[in-house]
Amino acid sequence: MSIKDDVTYVKTELSSDEKVLESAFKLETLYKKYKVLIWGTVSVALLSFAVIKGMEAMRASKLEAANQALLTLEKKPDDAAALSVLKENNPALYELFALAQAAKKRDAKALAPMKSSKNETVADMSAYSIGAIEKKPVESKLYKELSYLEEAYVLIRKGEVQKAKEKLSLIDARSQVASFAKLLEHATLKAK
Domain boundaries, the chain: 144-192
- Per the CB < 8 A criterion, the answer to whether 98 and 73 are in contact is no
**Average pLDDT, whole number, for the chain?**
84
Q: Please give the pLDDT value at position 118.
A: 87
The HSE-up count of residue 101 (CA atoms within 13 Å, CB side) is 16
pLDDT digits (tens, 9 = 90+) for 121-154: 888 888 888 888 887 777 777 778 888 888 888 8
> What pLDDT is recorded for position 141?
79
Pair 74, 84: CB distance under 8 Å:
no
Q: What does the pLDDT look like over 81-103, one tens digit per residue?
A: 999 999 899 988 889 898 888 88
In DSSP notation, the chain reads -HHHHHHHHHHHHHHHHHHHHHHHHHHHHHHHHHHHHHHHHHHHHHHHHHHHHHHHHHHHHHHHHHHHHHHHHHH-TT-HHHHHHHHHH-HHHHHHHHHHHHHHHT-HHHHGGGGG-SSHHHHHHHHHHHHHHTT-----STTHHHHHHHHHHHHHHHT-HHHHHHHHHTS-TTSTTHHHHHHHHHHHHHH-
pLDDT classification of 54: cutoffs 50, 70, 90: very high
Q: Is the pLDDT of residue 191 over 60?
A: no
